[in-house]
Structure 1
Amino acid sequence: MMGIPYKEFRIRVDELKSSLAEIRGLDVSIGYIVEEWEEPPGPTPFPSIATLRKWDHVLLKRYRPLYLPYCDLCCLCTYGRCDLSRDKRGSCGIGLSEQQSRLVTLVCAIGASTHASHARELLDKLIARYGEDTPIDLGGEVYVEMPITRLVTGVRPRTLRDLKIVIEYVERQIVQTLASVHTGQEGSWIDYESKVLHLGMLDHVALEVADVVQVASLNMPKADPNAPLVDLGIGTVDTSKPVILVIGHNVLPSAAIIDYLESLGIRDKIEVCGLCCTAHD
Structure 2
Amino acid sequence: MSRKSVSFSIKEINSDLAQFRDLTVSIGAITRERWDEPMGPSPFPSLTTLRPWDRRLLSRYKPFYMPFCDLCCLCTYGKCDLTGTKKGACGISMPAQQSRIVLLAACIGAATHTSHAREILTHTIEALGRECPINVGGTGVEVEAPITRLVCGIKPGTLGDLEPVLDYCENQLTQLLAVTHTGQEGNSLDFESKVFHTGMIDHLGMEVADIAQVSALGFPKADPESPLADLGLGTIDTKKPVILVIGHNVPPAAAIIDYLRDHGNAGDVEVTGICCTAIDLTRYAPKAKVVGPISWQLRYIR
TM-score (normalizing by structure 2): 0.87
* Residues 222-241 of structure 1 mapped to structure 2, 5 A cutoff: 222-241=221-240
Residue 19 and residue 55 in structure 1: after superposition, are their counterparts in 2 closer, same or farther (change >3 A)? closer
Corresponding residue of 1:269 = 268
Deviations 1:227-251 (A, max 9, x none): 2222222222221211101112020
| 1:30 partnered with 2:27 | yes
1:276 and 1:29 mapped to 2: Cα distance? 44
- Alignment partner, residue 112 of structure 1: 110
Letter in 1 for 2:32: E
Counterpart AA for 1:261: L
Structure 1 unmatched runs, 5+: none
Q: CA contact under 8 A between 2:120 and 2:249: conserved in structure 1?
A: no
Which residues in structure 2 correspond to 1:3-152 (within 5 Å)?
Answer: 3-4=1-2, 6=3, 9-15=5-11, 24-36=21-33, 37-140=35-138, 141-152=140-151
Instruction: Report the alpha carbon displacement of residue 13 of structure 1 after superposing the two structures with TM.
Output: 2.3
Number of residue pairs matched? Answer: 277
Aligned-partner Cα distance in 2 for 1:16–1:237? 71
Q: Which runs of 5 or more structure 2 residues have no equivalent in the other structure?
A: 281-302
**2:179 aligned partner:** 180
Distance in 1 of aligned mates of 2:203 and 2:99: 20
User: Contact 1:10–1:27 at 8 Å: present in 2 too?
Assistant: no
Q: Provide the rounded CA distance (Å) in 2 between the counterparts of 1:178 and 1:22.
A: 49
SS of equivalent to 1:34 = strand
77-86 or 234-243, which deviates more: 234-243
The question of 1:197 aligning with 2:196 is answered yes
Tell me which of the two structures has the higher relative contact order, counting C-alpha pairs closer than 8 angstroms and 6 or more residues apart: 1
Which deviates the most, 16-25 or 263-272?
Answer: 16-25
2-structure distance, mates of 1:224, 1:81: 54
What is the RMSD computed on CA atoms of the aligned residues?
2.0
- Aligned CA distance change for structure 1 residues 24 and 92 (closer, same or farther; 3 Å): same
| 1:249–1:207 distance in 2 versus 1, CA, 3 Å | same
Deviation of 1:220 after TM superposition, in Å, equals 1.3
Kindly indicate whether the alpha-carbon contact (under 8 Å) linking 1:15 and 1:22 is maintained by their aligned counterparts in 2: no
Matched residue SS, 1:201: helix
- % same residue: 58
Cα distance in 1 for partners of 2:91, 2:73 equals 14
